[in-house]
């Protein structure tokens, strides 16, 4: 073999040996992760415990709440309410406790949050709670045997207004729209902005009949409405409870008052006194049970005294929410925001 070729062959064999047997580091790129395919590892966290179930209503851990009228500060009233709570507990086995809300507005909020169940509400608070689906009426509070009272539209006889009240029967001779049409574009005197008989319900009757008046004067009180009409020049007509003209100091001061200030038309008895109601958070069978126990509790000396002291209740009439429908209609017709009437 040619010496030169032999030398080249030996060099080639040596080079091949080194390439095969030497460790030569090779850079290997990590393949990119497929986005959206693999979950990103997270730090393990403890599994939250499920919320504890609310204890059944009426148990000691979740008692029924008997609310007193707002702003009660009499120890006697609070003690009387506790007597009623004890009576309910004894007769039902449910735990009943008492609270004193600051205002009727706070009481309605408490009903909404499940913090009141047995309540005595004034008419506006009842209506607001009813509209929000928070209560069911069970009893109307009676005053002198009546569950509701009326109102009257007044004007002066020398103002050219005509009375549509039958002087013999004391009943209205025509409907509201016919009688009240003469007040169109006249100036009313109202008692105050929250009075049911001296503003809200009379305004509801006017609005329902589409009788529009001049801007009113709020004169602060039913007797003041009567005095303002008698004095003339302040307003053309007004409304009061029946019969504010016979308020002692006015009748003594103005002997001819009944001839000078006349009743134009009477609003029927549709304005309620207070309402005893139960929360809709109570199951119906529970509401029915507690409602059925009110009369027997009132038939006991202790229970009757407790209702009188705690709530000024002498007598109750069983009712349902439909009993207050006319009141509801005319409050709505007044256009006044109901929430502003609940104090």
Domain with CATH 3.40.190.10 in the chain: 64-146+273-340, 148-271
Pair 216, 235: CB distance under 8 Å = yes
Q: Match domain 148-271 to its CATH number in 3.90.950.10, 3.40.50.2300, 1.10.3720.10, 3.40.190.10.
A: 3.40.190.10
pLDDT of residue 252: 84
Tokens 């406790």 belong to residue? 97
Question: What is the 8-class DSSP label of residue 45?
Answer: -
How many other C-beta atoms lie within 10 A of the C-beta of residue 40? 5
Q: Nearest to residue 311, comparing CAs of 67, 115, 116?
A: 67
Q: What is the pTM of this model?
A: 0.83
pLDDT of residue 43: 54
Copy the structure tokens of residue 269.
């008895």
Q: Nearest to residue 245, comparing CAs of 148, 145, 155?
A: 155
The rounded distance, in Å, linking the Cα atoms of 289 and 108 is: 23
What is the mean pLDDT for each group of 10 consecutive residues in the chain (343 residues)? 46 42 41 43 61 86 96 91 98 97 97 98 98 98 97 94 93 97 98 98 98 97 96 95 92 90 97 98 98 98 97 97 98 97 95
Helix 75-92 crosses helix 301-311 at what angle (to 10 degrees)?
130
Copy the structure tokens of residue 308.
């009188």
pLDDT of residue 4: 44
Copy the structure tokens of residue 303.
């229970």
**The architecture CATH gives domain 64-146+273-340:** 3-Layer(aba) Sandwich (3.40)
Q: Nearest to residue 162, comparing CAs of 150, 178, 151?
A: 178
The rounded distance, in Å, linking the Cα atoms of 58 and 306 is: 22
Sort 324 into a burial class: Cβ within 10 Å, 0-12 / 13-18 / 19+.
buried
How many other C-beta atoms lie within 10 A of the C-beta of residue 91? 14
pLDDT of residue 50: 67
Tokens 């009257």 belong to residue? 152
């Amino acid at each position: 073999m040619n010496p030169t070729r032999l030398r080249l062959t030996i060099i080639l064999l040596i080079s091949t040996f080194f390439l095969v047997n030497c460790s030569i580091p090779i850079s290997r790129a990590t393949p990119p992760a497929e986005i959206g395919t693999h979950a990103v590892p997270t730090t393990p966290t403890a599994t939250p415990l499920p919320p504890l179930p609310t204890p059944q209503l009426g148990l000691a851990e979740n008692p029924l709440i008997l609310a007193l009228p707002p702003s009660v500060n009499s120890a006697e009233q609070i003690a009387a309410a506790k007597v009623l709570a004890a009576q309910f507990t004894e007769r039902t086995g449910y735990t009943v406790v008492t609270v004193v809300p600051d205002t009727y507005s706070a009481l309605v909020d408490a009903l909404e949050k499940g913090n009141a169940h047995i309540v005595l509400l004034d008419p506006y608070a009842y209506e607001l709670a009813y509209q929000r689906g928070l209560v069911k009426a069970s009893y109307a509070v009676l005053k002198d045997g009546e569950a509701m009272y009326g109102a009257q539209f007044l004007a002066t006889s020398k103002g050219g207004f005509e009375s549509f009240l039958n002087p013999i029967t004391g009943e209205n001779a025509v409907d509201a729209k016919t009688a009240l049409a003469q007040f169109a574009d006249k100036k009313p005197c109202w008692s105050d902005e929250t009075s049911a008989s001296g503003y809200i319900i009379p305004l509801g009757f006017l609005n329902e009949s589409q009788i529009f008046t001049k801007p009113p004067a709020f004169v602060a009180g039913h007797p003041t409405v009567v005095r303002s009409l008698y004095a003339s020049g302040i307003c053309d007509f007004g409304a009061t409870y029946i019969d504010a003209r016979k308020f002692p100091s006015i009748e003594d001061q103005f002997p001819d008052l009944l001839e000078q200030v006349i009743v134009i038309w009477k609003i029927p008895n549709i304005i309620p006194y207070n309402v005893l109601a139960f929360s809709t958070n109570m199951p119906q069978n529970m509401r029915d049970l507690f409602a059925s126990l009110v009369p027997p509790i009132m038939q006991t000396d202790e229970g009757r005294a407790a209702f009188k002291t705690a709530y000024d209740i002498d007598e109750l009439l069983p009712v349902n929410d439909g009993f207050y429908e006319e009141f509801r209609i005319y409050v709505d017709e007044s256009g006044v925001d109901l929430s502003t009437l609940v104090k």
